[in-house]
Amino acid sequence: MLKTYLTEDAVQFKADAQNWEEAIRLAADPLLKNQTIEASYIEMMIENVKNLGPYIVLLPKFAMPHARPENGVNRLGLSLLILEKGVEFASGKGANVFLVLAAPDAAAHLNILSELSTLLSSQEKVDALALAKNYQELVTILEEEEK
């Protein structure tokens, strides 16, 4: 299912971002362009981190920015940004893999989260994601996970 949503136009590889806010904006851009989300969703993801701290950093190197459906989600979607050089949050936590989740309701994304939790249960897989340089490398990692 991750592969279904992480199409080539939803995935970006960049050298760096100025800060975590820019990383979230960059990561969400494909979803904004294809109208999966509204600009308000991006702003709310950033506000949530400012207000609640970097709760989106689920593991070293891996962050999953998200907000509530009513903050501008039009349909279920994922986008992914992989930075060569990670960004740090005020707490000292850092990430270079940003997987933006846009869920239109409380249930639509549960299958995605289940598959994602399997992928993230291996730090080796997270490290491989963080080192991916192109879309084909990402697909290989996701296909290995499906086996």
Report, as residue numbers or ranges, the catalytic residues. 66
How many Å apart are CA 147 and CA 142, to the nearest integer? 9
As given in the structure block, the two tokens for residue 39 are 């600009």
Bridge-based pairing state of the strands 94-102 and 61-63: parallel
Q: State which amino acid sits at residue 84.
A: E
Supply the DSSP symbol for 113: H
Task: Note whether 90 and 54 are within 8 A (CB).
Answer: yes
Q: Find the length of the chain.
A: 147
